[in-house]
A and B are shown apart, each in its own frame.
Chain A
Amino acid sequence: MSRPELVAPPEIYYGDVEAKKYTNNSRIQQIQADMTYRALELLNLPPDEPAFLLDIGCGSGLSGEILDEEGHLWAGLDIAPSMLEVALEREVEGDLFLQDIGQGIGFRPGSFDGAISIRRFDNTLRRSISVLQWLLNAETSHPTSSPPHRLTRFFTTLHAALKNPSRAVLQFYPTSDDQIQLITSIAQKAGFGGGIVVDYPNSKKARKVFLCLFVGGGGGAQQVPKGLEGEEEDEGRVQFEKRRERLKAKSGGKRKNIKDKDWILKKKELYRQRGKESVPNDSKYTGRKRKPVF
């Protein structure tokens, strides 16, 4: 199936139906929460200090709720009015803005302690998409709508809006190495340090890519955090495998042979009652166990 950013711009793609569907799915809520915690971890905020964060592509405020729980205040940007409407209905705590990040974000320098951008999982397409991906598509032929221009605008204004030192963690799903190259080079030109963090690089399902950008703190003071290694739990399992294993354990390992001696005798008796001819006589050899050789 095609990627949603190739179908339509986000404000059109996320109509009312999509927005509602997205927010009411409990699995998505769970994933979104996990991702937000991981992003907060990567942000490496000073502990026990409430921070003022920017949620880029806040959508319906699912990740914002986690920020609320963690005691942070936040402002959210999104371009899809329908998503923001859902956020209003859910009465999230943060301030919401209808904004196209490709046009740049208008905040005073040093406004935020950090910025996060968590991907959305798209229900109909069964795949995840991120804010950065929307930036990679030109919608009109106007020069300000070219991907490099939009990315430059976004990264420079974001760099300005973050305080020194701080971090921005943006999750994204690159389609190719060229995309990574483009994004990181533009981010570097905008003044960011940092790089790509990949969680579970060897897993197809659990693999996650974060763009971890640093403002200030140069000279090796800030290290790019390590991605999570190893296998995620429940990795490589087929659907319902757990259930099958549970049933197997319940019945006590090896299954009993159905056609044992009792069963054969019962069947023969049944055939005799029905008057079937040539039913063999019962003997001591009936239903005996054969040797493993033929």
Chain B
Amino acid sequence: MVRLITHNLLACHAKGCTSNNFPLQFQDVSIELRDADFNADFLRGFLPRLEWPALVGAARQLGDTSLPAEQPDMIDDEFLQKLHHVLLEIHVEEGAMVCPNCKHVYPISNGIPNMLLAEHEIG
């Protein structure tokens, strides 16, 4: 159940990996679409916290191109609907996430990413 909302917040936390550790790249993913309740207030509140380029990049990797490359200034309902779909309805079920810096692989199985580190990677 990795949704893009959490993917947009996830950063690599391995030892010494402090720069360029975001966003994690998806690898051999299989996705599933599941409906979620639309909540405009939440999206509006959450928008400033999003890293827009990372979100668009991740969505493109998952084959969704509905979002514009630049964050629009005008926030209308249509845009929020699209954002809602990308953020909360696309679930990554299988695959892996790879840190762009240290190349640590976080495998995703059954929708749960394994964020455990080996002993030498703990900061």
Binding site for B on A (CB under 8 A): 49-50, 52, 71, 73, 75, 77, 79, 81, 84-85, 88, 93-100, 103-108, 110-112, 140, 142, 144-145, 153, 157, 161, 163
Contact = CB atoms under 8 A, between A and B. Distances in A.
B41 interface: yes
A135 to B, nearest CB: 13
B11 A106 contact: yes
Given A88-B111, A95-B6, A106-B115, A71 B13 contact: no
Interface of B: 1-3, 5-6, 8-13, 22, 36, 39, 41-42, 45-46, 49, 51, 88, 110-117, 119, 122-123
A104 to B, nearest CB: 5
A108 B116 contact: no
B49 A163 contact: yes
A98 B115 contact: yes
Contacts of A108: 8-11, 22, 51
- What is the predominant secondary structure among interface residues of chain A facing chain B? mixed
A144 B39 contact: no
Given A75-B6, A93-B36, A144-B119, A104 B13 contact: yes
B112 A84 contact: yes
A289 to B, nearest CB: 75
A93 B3 CA distance: 11
A88 B110 contact: yes
Nearest to A98: B114
B114 A73 contact: no
